[in-house]
Structure 1
Amino acid sequence: MPKLKTHKGTAKRIKLTSTGKLTRRRAFGNHMLSKKSKSRKRTINTSATVSGSMAKNIKRVLGV
């Protein structure tokens, strides 16, 4: 089977941790922030982990 190329768009957005988990940024944090509560904005500012079948697909795309 030939080598698979890394999907660069995914590689720029998702980071692999040392334990093998995938972290990503959360959505909805770029504009219209005045109507969002402080607690919601704090949650948006933290990173999230990718799990399940989505993580499996992303790992394949990243070549991990």
Structure 2
Amino acid sequence: MMPKMKTHKGTKKRFRITGKGKIKHRQCGTSHLANRMSHKRKRNLRGTTVLAEAESVALREALGKYSY
């Protein structure tokens, strides 16, 4: 018998599954060095976005039991 797959803890902290099964994530590029960006670009990077479906397959495996 194979052991259970462990949840990747870094992935668990960074991604959330919506009710319909899509994966939400925070957009990158706003942590530091943001003073060189335009205000419009910084404003558009706020909030969360939905991950592309092609990338979400591997993420579901990493999330393990948190992916349903």
CA distance in 2, matches of 1:2, 1:51: 30
Deviations 1:9-53 (A, max 9, x none): 000000111111101111110112222111110111121211233
How many residues are treated as equivalent by the alignment?
64
| 2:25 counterpart residue number | 24
TM-score (norm 1): 0.85
RMSD of aligned Cα (Å) = 1.3
**Within 5 A, what are the aligned runs for 1:24-63?**
24-63=25-64
Q: Which runs of 5+ in 2 are unaligned?
A: none
Q: Which runs of 5+ in 1 are unaligned?
A: none
Q: Would you identify which runs of 4 or more consecutive aligned residues in structure 1 move more than 2 Å?
A: none
Give the structure with the larger helix fraction. Answer: 2
CA distance in 1, matches of 2:52, 2:58: 10
TM-score (norm 2): 0.81
